[in-house]
Amino acid sequence: MTKAFNLKKWLRNYTALLMLVFAQLGFWYKTHDIKPDFGIVPEVPGRQTLHALTFGDNEFYFRIMAFTLQNAGDTFGRFTALRYYDFNKLYHWFSLLDELDSRSNMMPSMATYYFAQTQNTPDVRYIVDYLYEHSVKDVEHKWWWLLQAIYLSLHKLDDTDLALKVAQPLQNSQVPVWAREMTAVVHEKRGEMDDALEIMETIKNNVNNIPQADLNYMTYFVKERLGKLDESKKFGQWPPPQKPFPQGEKKAGDK
């Protein structure tokens, strides 16, 4: 009698709690397969909003957002392939954060060495555009990122027009000689041998104290390309046709 009384008393006291527990279990059973959409790249704020969010400390907010972008898509136990990222948003984030700290190499490094490895190759154009805009404001200190943009243009996008646009700012007296030579290399890739030779000869004739290694390369470039230029004029095409190998002679790399 006492036990039955105690059970009824217990049920009377805890019925509401039991109902809540069973309701919670039922809710979990119906929703445990539903995953929230956390998004990948955060929404890009306007310029005024960006500066308001810094609360007067640009560097602190710059570092917070750099860390956020670096880990975007890889939070809450998930890992997201780069092809799913919105590179238009990334481009605008990079440009906005440059307003907080344009001297830092954090943004161009992240863009070049991480996001440029996306499996969706056309998105690399956003990276090249950002690197170009970031660098032309201070070519003396940012020329390295123009070289990276040239590489991405030529070898990822196969776009020599874009590569030439990126390479032109390298013709700056504050840029190392070997980096300035890349403009000539891009012209050569485009078949513009006269322009390539003109750039090399201009550097050679107007720069003092050229390192011997660079001087040797420029001399080789000019002599070797002059020979090819003469051949192209002879055959009326660029590049000139390759000379056939004599019978029994092997090409480099043949076994």
pLDDT at 162: 96
Q: Cα–Cα distance between 227 and 230 in angstroms, integer?
A: 5
pLDDT at 250: 44
Which residue, among 189, 190, 188, 172, has the nearest Cα to 222 in the 3D structure?
188
Query: Along the chain (255 residues), what's the average pLDDT of each consecutive run of 10 residues?
Result: 66 79 86 76 92 92 94 84 95 95 95 96 97 96 96 95 96 90 90 85 81 78 66 54 47 44
pLDDT at 34: 75
| 170 and 182 belong to one structural domain | no
Q: Cα–Cα distance between 64 and 60 in angstroms, integer?
A: 6
Alpha-carbon distances, residue 160 vs 139, 163, 216 (angstroms): 21, 5, 26
Q: Cα–Cα distance between 198 and 184 in angstroms, integer?
A: 8
Strand spans (E) along the chain: none
Q: Can you tell me whether residue 110 is helix, strand or coil?
A: helix
Q: Cα–Cα distance between 220 and 25 in angstroms, integer?
A: 78
pLDDT at 141: 95
Contact between 99 and 135 under an 8 Å Cβ cutoff? The reply is no
First-to-last CA distance in the chain?
Answer: 99
| 47 and 166 belong to one structural domain | yes
CA 77, distance to chain mean position in Å, is 25
Let me know if residue 124 belongs to a domain. Answer: yes
| 194 and 169 belong to one structural domain | no
Q: How many of the other CB atoms lie within 10 Å of CB of 200?
A: 24
| 79 and 151 belong to one structural domain | yes
Q: Is 217 exposed, middle or buried (0-12, 13-18, 19+ CB in 10 A)?
A: middle
Residue type, 79: F
pLDDT at 230: 58
Two tokens, residue 202: 């201009």
pLDDT at 253: 44
Helix axes 106-113, 87-100, angle to 10 degrees: 160
Let me know if residue 243 belongs to a domain. Answer: no
CA 238, distance to chain mean position in Å, is 32
| 75 and 112 belong to one structural domain | yes
| 132 and 101 belong to one structural domain | yes
| 143 and 183 belong to one structural domain | no
Q: Cα–Cα distance between 31 and 20 in angstroms, integer?
A: 16
Based on the structure, what is the number of domains in the chain? Answer: 2
Quote the Cα angle for 74-77-80, to 5°. Answer: 35
Greatest Cα-to-Cα distance within the chain, rounded to the nearest angstrom: 117
Let me know if residue 98 belongs to a domain. Answer: yes
| 171 and 189 belong to one structural domain | no
Q: What range defines the domain where residue 138 resides?
A: 41-175
Q: Cα–Cα distance between 104 and 97 in angstroms, integer?
A: 10
H or E element in which residue 150 lies: helix 139-151
pLDDT at 164: 95
